[in-house]
Amino acid sequence: MNILVTGGAGFIGSHTCLALLEQGYEVVVVDSFINSNKKSLDGVIEILKFNKTIKNIPLEIIKADIRNEKLLDKLFLGYKKSGKPINAVIHFAGLKSVKESILNPLNYWDVNVNGSITLLRVMDRYKCKRIVFSSSATIYGYSNKKSFNENSEIKPINPYGTTKVAIEQFLNDVYLSNPKEWGIANLRYFNPIGAHPSGLIGEAPLGVPSNIFPYLTQVAAGKINKLNIFGNDWPTKDGTAIRDYIHVMDLAEGHISALQKLNENKIMTVNLGTGFGTSVLELVNTFERVNNIKIPIEFTSRRQGDCCRVVADNTLAISSLGWSPKRYLEEMCLDGWKWQSLNPKGY
Ligand SMILES: NC(=O)c1ccc[n+]([C@@H]2O[C@H](COP(=O)([O-])OP(=O)(O)OC[C@H]3O[C@@H](n4cnc5c(N)ncnc54)[C@H](O)[C@@H]3O)[C@@H](O)[C@H]2O)c1
């Protein structure tokens, strides 16, 4: 099967490309590299060559913006003519900074929503009717519940989140227009962290990281002098906020399980998380213990719009995808640090 991976050079995309190629899929990446580097895909090739799993690696990389309809059209046409049409799409391409989305909602709606519409229009034209979409747990109305299932209230509090809701709704409408043909999976990720254990690919944010884990690894590397922890007065056992961290390779494998289920023509919306809550202090302590590194921390006040506990109810993912996360927090911390320490400047 020939899979188009939009945003395939990014953090989750590169790990998913690796998992796809290891499973024998052929992969075409379309990425503008606005938030990534082609070297991530060189890393994917290096891992595959080292493991000697595949002789000729079927990976094509195209630098393009998903809003460029002409180019997408040409790409789908080219593959169709070659007798190897694109069979399905895994759609990662998009912008993901909450802060930037508040400052520049126009750009976020254009890239995320218009980009998705353009992609679906071309897919429809070429009768490619299978898509796995990267949604996010940020769309839930945060309420300090024990855990969120797929029927929990949807109430995003920033433009990044509203674009994800809009795309899910749009995909639902597309599905309803022809349920016999479309197969769609909305995957709502919780907090992906870690890296491939080789240390050859990982998360390489441009500028100061906005997520806690790459921030933590940069503190460990001495690039940032301390880790600010927002609030130690939350109603949790140690006062710090709780999140559901999931190893990026588990997340990548979840996409393949979802892709395989799409042959059954349906729409599904599924949480991808571990179902375990970890406080910020537990994360820091685990990182320090497994890597034998001291992390300087400082408690500061809570951030506006933050929430005490965001943990997945992953029952549906386990029952409907036949998938379950396999890697523990210790592995996430070891692999994430290996990537950071071997690649202090990223790619
Ligand atoms: N990382 C997380 O914590 C997280 C959580 C929930 C959902 N998501 C979603 O998962 C997807 C992947 O996230 P990630 O962490 O790998 O982010 P990332 O920024 O590393 O990857 C996104 C990729 O899309 C590319 N891209 C952006 N705009 C593009 C455009 N117009 N045309 C073509 N390529 C474009 C970027 O260059 C990048 O390679 C995103 O849609 C994100 O919103 C991420």
State residue 196's pLDDT score.
98
Q: What tens-digit pLDDT sequence spans the chain (347 residues)?
A: 999 999 999 999 999 999 999 999 999 999 999 999 999 999 999 999 987 767 789 999 999 999 999 999 999 999 999 999 999 999 999 999 999 999 999 999 999 999 999 999 999 999 999 999 999 999 998 777 889 999 999 999 999 999 999 999 999 999 999 999 999 999 999 999 999 999 999 999 988 898 999 999 999 999 999 999 999 999 999 999 999 999 999 999 999 999 999 977 799 999 999 999 999 999 999 999 999 999 999 999 998 778 899 999 999 999 999 999 999 999 999 999 999 999 999 99
pLDDT the model gives residue 53: 65
The number of the ligand 1 atom at minimal distance from the alpha carbon of 96 is 43
Give Cβ neighbours of residue 278 (< 8 Å, ≥ 6 apart): 242, 243, 244, 245, 286, 329
Choose which residue among 17, 40, 41, 96 to substitute to test ligand 1 binding: the one with the highest number of ligand atoms within 8 A of its C-beta.
96
Nearest ligand 1 atom to alpha carbon 137: 6
- Cα–Cα nearest to 305, from 157, 146, 98: 157
Please tell me the distance between residue 96's alpha carbon and the centre of ligand 1 in angstroms. 6
Dihedrals phi, psi of 193, to nearest 5 degrees: -140, 180
Distance 287 CA to ligand 1 centre (A): 25
Atom 2, ligand 1: residue with shortest CA distance: 192
Mutate to test the pocket of ligand 1, among 5, 11, 109, 274 (most ligand atoms within 8 A of CB): 11
Instruction: Say if CB 5 and CB 20 are below 8 A apart.
Output: yes
CA of 199 to the centre of ligand 1 (A): 20
**Per CATH, domain 2-342 is 3.20.20.60:** no
For position 14, what pLDDT does the model report? 98
| Ligand 1 geometric centre to CA of 9 (Å) | 9
The active-site residue out of 160, 175, 189, 245 is 160
DSSP 201: S
Distance CA(91)–CA(104), nearest Å, equals: 22
Q: Which two tokens stand for residue 243?
A: 């999140």
Q: How far is the CA of 204 from the centre of ligand 1 (A)?
A: 12
For residue 30, CA distances in Å to 130, 185, 323 come to 17, 20, 27
Gap from CA of 94 to ligand 1 centroid (Å) = 5
Name the token pair of 54. Answer: 């595949």
Pocket of ligand 1, candidates 36, 117, 332: which has the most ligand atoms within 8 Å of its Cβ, to mutate? 36
Domain ranges, ordered by start, for the chain: 2-342
Measured between alpha carbons, how far is 225 from 219 in angstroms, rounded to an integer? 6
For ligand 1, atom 11, name the residue with the nearest CA: 92
CA 192 to ligand 1: nearest atom: 3
Return the residue whose CA atom lies nearest to atom 38 of ligand 1.
10
Distance CA(91)–CA(4), nearest Å, equals: 8
pLDDT value at residue 260: 95
Q: What atom of ligand 1 comes closest to residue 191's alpha carbon?
A: 3
Task: Respond yes or no: is residue 160 known to be catalytic.
Answer: yes
Element at 312 (helix H, strand E): none
Torsion of CA 255, 76, 65, 170, to 10 degrees: -60
AA letter at 228? N
Closest ligand 1 atom to the C-alpha of 67?
31
Give the CA dihedral 6, 9, 12, 14, nearest 10 degrees. 110
Residues contacting ligand 1 via CB (< 6 Å): 6-7, 9-13, 30-36, 65-67, 92-96, 111, 115, 134, 136, 189, 192, 211
Name beta bridge partners: 191.
245
Per-residue HEC secondary structure of 40-88 comes to: HHHHHHHHHHHHCCCCCCCEEEEECCCCCHHHHHHHHHHHHHCCCCCCE
Are the CB atoms for 277 and 311 separated by under 8 Å?
yes
